[in-house]
Structure formats: C-alpha cells, structure tokens
Structure 1
Amino acid sequence: MPSSEGQVSNWKRFRHAFSSPSAFHNALRLKSSTSFLINEDLLPSPISRQTWTIWSFFAYWWSESWNVSTWSVGASLIALGATIRDALLVVFFANLLSAVVIVLNGRAAARYHVGYPVLSRVSFGIYGQYFVVVLRSILGIIWGGVQLYFEGQFISVCLRCIFPGWERIPNGIPASQHITTQVMVGFFLAFLFTIPFLFVHTSRIQHLFSVKSVVMPLAGLGIVIWATTSNGGVSSGALATTATKSSVSVFAWGIVSQFNSVMGANSALLVTVPDLARYSKTKNAQLWGQLISLPIGQTICAAFGVITTSAVLSMWGEAYWNPYDLLNGILDHSYSSKARAGVFFASACFAFATLGTSIACNFIPFAADVTCLLPKYINIVRGQLLCLIIAFAIVPWRIVATANGFLNFLSGYSIFQGPVVAIMLVDYFIIRHGNLSMSNIFTAAPHARYHYFHGFNLRAFGAFVVGFLLPLPGFAASFGHTIGSAATHMYSLGWVLSFLMGGLSYWLFCVVFKVPGDDGRHSFEALVVEANETVIEGSVVDGGSSIVDGEGSLPDKEARVKTEIA
C-alpha cells in the first residue's frame, strides 16, 4: 500500500539521518534555501498558502483579545487609580489605535505576501534587518515564557479541581521565587501540551483561533454571571473606592501612562503583523478582519475582568487582579462539587485560550523572524519549537509578580518597538508609495536598491535612535534611577512618543538623503502585479532555486521557470 511504502521511506530517511555526522547535517538543511536570504518561509507565500479570510483575521484578533493580560489590565488600571469608566475608555481607544496601525502595517504583506523579516529589509537594509528581527525575537521569547507560565497556572487549577490533595503537596520552592511546586508542575505540562500545535504551519493554524473565539468568551461570560449572581449585582463602585485619589495633573498623566501600558502590550504585534497578513486571501481580508475585532474584543474582555474583580471584592474583601488567582480563590471559599466543576471548565478554557495566545503572539512571530537568521536550517515549524525550548528555560513568573511590575514591563519595551513600526509605515506609504522590488529584496548585490550603505539603511537606524531616545531616561528610571518630572512624563507617553518621533525623523532623513531606486515615482502600489509576476516566473518547484541564485544575484530571464512556489 502507498501509505506503508511512505512510512518505510520515512523510517529509512530517519535512520539514515543518524548514520553519520554528514548525513545528520544534510537532514537538517532545508533544500529550499539557496542563499542566506531565502528559504520556503522567506519567499512570498504561494497561492496555496494564501488561506486567511476576513473571518480568519476576525477570529484571530477576537480570540487574541480573550487572554490573561487583557482580563487583568482593566482591573490593574483601576487598582492603580483609574475609575472603571476611565479604564475601559483607555482600553478601547488604545486598541482602536492599535487596530489602525495593525491594518496599515499589514498592507504591504497582504499585497506582496512576504513577512516581517523580508519587509524589514526594505526599511532597514539587507543586513540591517537582523537587528530589528533579533529585537522582536527577544520579546517573543519573554512573552512566550510568560504565557507558558499563565497556562501552567490554569493547568494547576484544573489539577486542584480533580485531586483534593493537590494543594497539600509539599512545596520546597522558596517564596521569594514567586512560584510553587504545583504551578511548576503545571508549567511543565503546559510545555508538553504546546508541542503538538507547533508542528502546524501558520497558513493552517487559523482554525485553532476560530475555536478559541467561541469557547473563551463563553467561559468569561460564565465567570461574570457567577460573580454578579453570587454578589447580588455588579457593585461597580467597589474597585473605585479602593483607588488612591490624586490631583488632576497626576491623574491625567496616570491615564496617559495607562494608555501607554495597553499599547505596550500590543506593540510587538504591531510590528510583526506582516507574518500573519502575508497569508491574506485577498488584499482587504486583513483590513476588515483586524480593524473591527481587536478594540471591541479587548474592551469586552477587560470589562468582564473589571466586573468580576469588583463583584468578588465586594463579596470577599479582596481584589483578584488575574483570573488564575480568582479561580483559586473560588476553590478556597468553596470546594464543593459544583464549584470544582465550574472552576475546572473555566480553567481549562483559559488554559486553551492562553495556548492560542502564546502560539499567535509569540511562537509564530518568533519562528517567522528567526527564519532569516539561519534560513538553511530554520523554517517556521522548527522556529516555533526553538522558541518553546528557550521560553521554557527562562523565569517568567518574576515579571508578573505584582500589578505594578507587570505594567512597567509592558510600558518599557514598547519604546523600542514604536520607532520600528513607524519607520516601516513611512517607508512604505510615503517614501515608496507602496511599490517594492522583489528582485532587489532577495539579492545582496552591492548595486541593489535595498543594500544601502554596506547593507544598512542609516536613515532608518538614525530615526530608530531618535525615536526611543526621549523616553529612554524614564525607562532607566523604572530600574531604580532618579529622574526629573519632564523625563517621567515623556516616558508616560512611551510608545506614542517613540512612534511619532521615529516616523517623523525617518521622513526628514529621507527628504534630505534620498533613498535609492525609483519606487516613489510611481502611483500607489502600481508595481504590485509586476512584482508578484516576477516572483512566480523566478521560482522552481522543489528545485531549490528562486528569483536569485545561491550567490544572491539575479539569474538570467531565460532560465526562469513559470510555476507556483512549492
């Protein structure tokens, strides 16, 4: 039978891979990589992988809105001094701005079907791309570990519902480490449960988010109904009365800082949304699917978190600012069969939702990015597994030990992401009018237009420095240094300030020092069709060659084979 022959063949290849060091090395190498700029996940996505529809993007962002961070952020903002109304308005408008930036930054990927590492070559240079890719990859690892920790918390709660003696297991881990033996076991199980999903390519993983987009809101609604029913109402003023009152000026800057915290939570995705938008089935699928779902979904999820935290505070006199503490609190107050069943269902849903968030926001972007670092050995599937292994090795529970520490973490790294996305937007929409040259993107030839100065676009790097320089003193102050009020206020502006300064300075640099090429002389996106035809003509199925040869130079037109990329 063909299936048996295929299994035998796979087994023979597996055995042969371990027959010698050279055989193992050949097994690791990707045949699709013909140069350091190319493999199957760096080249434009073929039609067979352009599978994401409007619903796919809507389900992705709607499902992504339902996560621990969003549930916690509204209650955390109130605990730090905002009212319920102010907190929800901050969440809504920050996510509305995020959705607009996401749509704009996804435009180039939806038209040219390439991801963030490839598009960053246009703005930062053939070699300059590595800097911004590593910058984003580090965040993917950190957030991957954080989400893995969240998932472990929920798995631990599920085990507590099943085994009455779960909490009585001796804990030999010091309290200063902010983790227990039970959660450590859950953390390890989360690692194991994540592995099978990482073997699915990004172009086929959208169904996971469709399931999550239905399951998680129902679980969140169930928690809200339980909290309000048990409390006899919403008790919307409970959290507000615990907030510290302050002057108008302090409160206003506090709101700005909280807005920046929400942007900080989204900042990494704003940069790497091309890694998803490249699979858009039509040019506008990513537009409508992303613009609507993110602000609405995140606001509803944050509202559920606020309502639940407020009701529980009214009942028990304690504010649980994250859902896994809340679920453990429910079991502390009642370990009845009914409570255990409800908490198990909610915890399992949150664990599944956190798994989806981790894959969507960390493993996929990290994997798509690091393909450019070692294209001969790493594709998206291998990159996802690599991210999981590294994320498992860090200690993410220290990042989320307190509400203040959590928000400081979100605010801090965003000042380095704001300039990157601003530079990419200005470069695509203003400088190049949406026109890119595929042949120049995939060549390292010195005369190519994206080679710039020895492979680095100094305009982009200068703008990047200008962008993060103003809020940088405030970022340093978050580690214990003393600064003035002006620096503190600039840091409160964080992402917005770095975004505006980075984009404006890049535009000025490009006005003074013209970029090479004539992309900006054509009407908007006039060269899209021509670029896509060039890719198709210059590709060979399973042949390992592409629109550039192994030396990174353009092949003769006569040697091109017109077919779809495998």
Structure 2
Amino acid sequence: MAIPSISQGVKAWGAAIKEDLRVEPSEADQRWSNKDLEPTPPERRVYHWYNYLLYFIGTGFNNWSGGSSVIGVGLGWKAAIAITFVANIIAGMAVAANCKAAARYHIGFPAIARSVYGMWGSSYQVGVRAILAAVWYATQIYSGASYLGVMLTAVFGTHFTSIPNHVPASIGYTTQDFLCYFLVWLIYLPLLLRRPHQMRWLFAVACALSFPSILALFIYCMVQSGGRISLDDQFGSSSATLSTTSQRTWQVVYALTSTISNGSPYIESIPDMARWAHSPLSPIPTTLFTNSVFNPLSAVLGILGTSALQVAIGQTLWTPWDVMTYMLEQHTSAAGRFGVFCLAFTWLFQTLSQNVSSNMIPFGADTSMLWPRYINMTRGYLIVHFLAWVICPWKIYASAETFLDFMGAYGIFMGPAISIMLCEYYVFSRGNLFVPSLYDGRGATNKHYWYTGGWNIQAYIAYIVAVGLCFIGFVNKVGATVPQVGVELGYLGWFLTFSTGWIVYYVVVKVWPHQNVQYTKNLKWEELAATDYGVQGVLHGVPSYPSDEEERQESEEGGIKSS
C-alpha cells in the first residue's frame, strides 16, 4: 500500500509543478496579459494588516549594517542614528504612498507602470527594475552563502575549513565558498513554485527569528566590551572629521540620500506585495510603523554593537557573518558552536525571506509583463534563479568596487520613476485607474493609456530632466572626475530626482495634458475602484473593449466609445 501512495504523491507533485509552470492565458490579448498580470482574485487577497506587520518586520528588522555608510563619511554615531531614523521614516512614507494603487486595485507594479508610462513606455521602467532585481537576487544568495559558511564551520570545524581549494585566485571565490553558494541556491528551489499568497508563513517565521537574531548579536557585542561604547573616540565626531559647516551639511545630505537610495528598489517594488492585500489599507499603517521603529532600530543596534565589539577587540567588524566568524574563533566548545550555528541560521533565513520578497517576486512580475505569452511568475522565478550563476556576485564583491558604487547610486533612476507614478495617481488620475485598458494593446480602442504610440511623452520628459540633473554625480560614482558642483548634485541624488520628477511632470501635464486627463478630471477620488475587476474579470463592463459586433466594427472605423 505504501508504494502506490508514494507514487500517487509523486504524480500529484509533478502535476502541481506542471500547472505552476503553465502560462495561463488571459481573457485579454495574450500579447499583453496573462493571469499573473490580471488583478488578484478575491480568494488570493490573504494579506491582512497583521500579515503585513509580520512581513515588514521579518524583511526589515535585520539592518545591522545600515549605519555603516553614515559613520564612514565621518559624521559620528549621533548623526548616524538621527539620519537612520529620518531616512527610514521618509522611505516609509514613500512605501506607504506607493502601496495605495496596488492595494486598491489589486494590481502589481508592471500594470501600474502602464497607466503612467504607456503600454510600450512602461517596458523600459519594468526592464530597469528587472535588471536591478536580478543583480541583487544573486548578491543576496552570496550573503546567504556567507551565513551557511559559518554554519558549516560550526558543525564540521577544520573538516570544512581545510577543504582544498581548486579555484583560481583570480575568481575571487574558493571551493568552500562555491559549495555554500550552491547549497543556498538549492534551498531556494521549493520557494520557486510558490506565489506570494502562499508565502505568509515564510515572512511570519522570518519575523519570529528576527528578534532573537539581532538581539543575540547585540548582547554578545555588549558583553564582550563590558557595556563600554566609545563611539566618539572609535568612529570620530563630526567636528573633528569635517572642518567647515558647508562640509558637514553636504555630508549629512549625502548620508541621508544614500541611505534612502539603498532602499529605493524596495520602494518601487512594494506594489507587487501590496496587490495581495485583503483591504486597501492593510499594508499602509504597518509600513509606516515598521519603517519608523523597527528598521532604524536594527541599524542603531548594529552601530552600537559594532562599536562595543571594536572597543573589546580593536577591530571593526561590520557584517554579521564576520562577527559570527570571530565568535567561532573565541568559543570552540560544542555549546558555543551550537549557539553560533543557530544564530547564523536565523540570519540566513531572514536573508532568504528578504530576497524572495524584494527581488524574486518583482523579477517574476516584471518578466511576466515583458513576455506575457511565454513567461508567468513561476517561470520568471526560475530565470532569475539560474541568472544567479551568470551574474557571478563573487566577482562583484571581489574586484568591482566601482560597480557597487554604481548600484548604490542607482537611486537617481528610481526616484523620478516613483515620484512620476505617485503624481499621476494622486493628482491627475485622482486615484482612478481604467483597469481593462491596462491590458489593451490597440491604439484605436485604448484611449486611456496608449498615449503617443504607446508612450507617455510627458512622463519621459519629466524622467529625463530629473535623471539628467544628477547624472553627472552618477558618473562621478562610477569613477569619472567631475567638477565639485557635479559631486554635490550627486550628493542630492534620490531627493533631487524624486522632487524634480514630480514637479516637472506636474508642470508639463498642466501645460500639455495627456489624453487621459479628460477622462479623470471630473471623477471623484477613486471612483472607479468601486468596480472590482478581480471578481468580475478584466473585460467585464469595459467600454474600451467592444462588447458586440457593432461596437467592434465602430472601433475599427475609428470611432471611440465613451467610457
């Protein structure tokens, strides 16, 4: 009896995998949609406010190294703590604002981007985000491999650390490292067959593990120093490092901007999690709360813990895995190794959950929009998972400091992309989205989002102006020598591009309204949200799509039916 049961289980598992991989066609044009792009159906809107609370804590309360860049510019620990809180509060407000459309209409970033940048113009924004997600996905696996290396060392000791290295030094990785990377890569495989509505448990477990993981590391560092924290002496105060008021001001601006810029991909990606909300307000209060409390608190614990450990041992160990490696060197007993193993496991799990939500899910959503006929979210997950080997993050960390600076300065592209979307939704669309038109790739019938040949020219004017203001600073980040004014424009980064994108887009549309303004200017706030397309279907009751032969013929003749 056992053998048939196992056989049936294997067949059922294989059928489930086949179903996950199948691209389920949409009732709309398959060149522009599949089921993963359509509004989330009611049975999958399973994220309540408490699910989002667990999610935001589980993926954000592990920012141990969040204050390192601030201290690194010489501002001192007090400034680092203040800037960390301010930056996270601002980022939380941006995340909350960017949640609204997704939670209200239950659509992800790619569909919302179509409403702002046009049916073709959105492809650039989605493609840029997909590239960024793929790179960070690979680097997060790299981070997970570092924690797994600590775990294997804790269990096997010299039997693991003495594994002969057969990899050339030019690669920047060892045989041990590749083993860890491969094993972590394998750990992700079961998650590739899950959709976000099936992953609430993942974020709940990450939340539960986040508190003991970061508190244990902090307490250990404090115990090692006997509670001594000489931050001013160890890291320098702002008055000693920066001689003039002007220098201090610019460094504060730079530290604040870079802190927000590092989180800008998360700000842009949040719609792909918010679309699963049970109610429109489910994610908003929780992200404001967690970004104001838990995210900056974890960075503060990292600042204080790192300082305490430096007082104790005279070294600056910023990354958690470096601290754990030190712990293994100092505590060789079975109990000590077991404790470090458990600690490394909690950090590995948090890294995994953060990578899934911030990189894997967005990449799956992006690629399913770029090639909807051939790629669904599951296939997108598989693509980014295999790209993790092609990207070679060990080469990035070993030899490409300029590339890491490039990734850090990427916020100048993210800032205006987000602000233009927010300006369109909150000001011009007045919270109204003609959802069916997001899946209509025919210029003759899509009077809302076809714009000019599929591109919202007004949006790209604002985008190019905003990015252009700070591009010289971006060039400086990747190694070119530029005038001081260019360096200072680079310091303004995300703030300047975000605000410029909003202002320029507002002015351009006021002077030169795009075609959709006439259909939204007389609507009440979120009036169209009363129609739940996730229940009724994308094509239900949509004037943009001819519903009978007479309307279809009229559209072909160039007639436009009123919406």
Residues 44, 113 of structure 1: 8 Å contact kept: yes
Q: Deviations over 1:100-141 (max 9, x none)?
A: 111111101111111110111110001111110000000100
Residues 547, 554 of structure 1: 8 Å contact kept: no
Residues 430, 521 of structure 2: 8 Å contact kept: yes
Q: Residues 470 and 333 from structure 1, CA distance in 2 versus in 1: closer, same or farther, beyond 3 angstroms?
A: same
**Match of residue 564 from structure 1:** none
Residues 145, 394 of structure 1: 8 Å contact kept: yes
Of 106, 114, 126, the residue aligned with 1:121 is: 114
Residue identity opposite 2:420 in structure 1: I
Structure-to-structure mapping, 1:413-424, within 5 angstroms = 413-424=410-421
The farther-off stretch of 249-258 and 434-443 is 249-258
Structure-to-structure mapping, 1:416-455, within 5 angstroms = 416-447=413-444, 448=446, 449-455=448-454
Q: Residues 207 and 29 from structure 1, CA distance in 2 versus in 1: closer, same or farther, beyond 3 angstroms?
A: closer
The farther-off stretch of 119-128 and 404-413 is 404-413
Does 1:319 find its partner at 2:312? no
Of 172, 176, 179, the residue aligned with 1:185 is: 179
**Match of residue 232 from structure 1:** 226
**Match of residue 246 from structure 1:** 242
Of 66, 76, 85, the residue aligned with 1:83 is: 76
**Match of residue 462 from structure 2:** 463
Of 56, 61, 66, the residue aligned with 1:66 is: 61
Residues 118, 451 of structure 2: 8 Å contact kept: yes
Structure-to-structure mapping, 1:77-476, within 5 angstroms = 77-165=70-158, 166-175=160-169, 177-237=171-231, 239-241=234-236, 245-247=241-243, 248-400=245-397, 408-447=405-444, 448=446, 449-476=448-475
Residue identity opposite 2:471 in structure 1: L
Residue identity opposite 1:128 in structure 2: G
Residue identity opposite 2:107 in structure 1: V
Q: Residues 7 and 225 from structure 1, CA distance in 2 versus in 1: closer, same or farther, beyond 3 angstroms?
A: closer
1: CA distance, partners of 2:288 / 2:406: 26
Q: How many Å apart are 1:407 and its aligned residue? A: 7.0
Q: How many Å apart are 1:395 and its aligned residue? A: 2.1
Q: TM-score, normalised by structure 1?
A: 0.89
Residues 273, 357 of structure 2: 8 Å contact kept: no
2: CA distance, partners of 1:228 / 1:383: 44
2: CA distance, partners of 1:76 / 1:43: 40
Q: C-alpha root-mean-square deviation of aligned residues, in Å?
A: 3.0
Does 1:57 find its partner at 2:40? no
Of 40, 58, 62, the residue aligned with 2:35 is: 40
Q: Which runs of 5+ in 2 are unaligned?
A: 552-563
**Match of residue 542 from structure 1:** none
Residues 191, 392 of structure 1: 8 Å contact kept: no
The farther-off stretch of 427-436 and 167-176 is 167-176
Residue identity opposite 2:469 in structure 1: L
Q: Residues 462 and 548 from structure 1, CA distance in 2 versus in 1: closer, same or farther, beyond 3 angstroms?
A: farther
Residues 84, 236 of structure 1: 8 Å contact kept: no
Q: Residues 203 and 444 from structure 1, CA distance in 2 versus in 1: closer, same or farther, beyond 3 angstroms?
A: same
Q: Residues 259 and 327 from structure 1, CA distance in 2 versus in 1: closer, same or farther, beyond 3 angstroms?
A: same
Does 1:30 find its partner at 2:27? no
Q: Deviations over 1:5-25 (max 9, x none)?
A: 97697699799x9xxxxxx9x
Secondary structure of 2:241's counterpart equals coil
Q: Residues 4 and 267 from structure 1, CA distance in 2 versus in 1: closer, same or farther, beyond 3 angstroms?
A: same
Secondary structure of 1:35's counterpart equals coil
1: CA distance, partners of 2:277 / 2:384: 24
Q: How many Å apart are 1:83 and its aligned residue? A: 1.3
| Percentage identity across paired residues of the two chains | 29
Secondary structure of 1:256's counterpart equals helix
Secondary structure of 2:374's counterpart equals coil
Q: Deviations over 1:154-182 (max 9, x none)?
A: 00110000112122222344555443322
2: CA distance, partners of 1:501 / 1:268: 18
1: CA distance, partners of 2:37 / 2:265: 20
The farther-off stretch of 6-15 and 58-67 is 6-15
1: CA distance, partners of 2:16 / 2:75: 59
Q: How many Å apart are 1:189 and its aligned residue? A: 0.8
Secondary structure of 1:515's counterpart equals coil
1: CA distance, partners of 2:550 / 2:212: 58
Q: How many Å apart are 1:548 and its aligned residue? A: 10
Residue identity opposite 2:455 in structure 1: F
Residues 125, 450 of structure 1: 8 Å contact kept: yes
Q: Deviations over 1:490-517 (max 9, x none)?
A: 1011111110111111111111111213
Q: Deviations over 1:349-373 (max 9, x none)?
A: 1111110111011001111111111
Q: How many Å apart are 1:277 and its aligned residue? A: 0.9
Q: TM-score, normalised by structure 2?
A: 0.89
Q: Which runs of 5+ in 1 are unaligned?
A: 18-23, 540-545, 560-566
Residues 443, 554 of structure 1: 8 Å contact kept: no
Q: Residues 557 and 536 from structure 1, CA distance in 2 versus in 1: closer, same or farther, beyond 3 angstroms?
A: farther
Q: How many Å apart are 1:399 and its aligned residue? A: 4.1
**Match of residue 555 from structure 2:** none
Residues 264, 413 of structure 1: 8 Å contact kept: yes
Secondary structure of 1:470's counterpart equals helix
Residues 60, 213 of structure 1: 8 Å contact kept: yes
2: CA distance, partners of 1:317 / 1:535: 58
**Match of residue 557 from structure 2:** none
Q: How many Å apart are 1:213 and its aligned residue? A: 0.9
2: CA distance, partners of 1:454 / 1:106: 28
Query: Alignment length, in residue pairs?
Result: 539
1: CA distance, partners of 2:282 / 2:136: 27
Q: How many Å apart are 1:147 and its aligned residue? A: 0.5
Q: How many Å apart are 1:401 and its aligned residue? A: 5.1
Residue identity opposite 1:218 in structure 2: P
Residue identity opposite 1:171 in structure 2: N
Q: How many Å apart are 1:336 and its aligned residue? A: 2.8
Q: How many Å apart are 1:339 and its aligned residue? A: 2.6
Q: How many Å apart are 1:295 and its aligned residue? A: 2.9
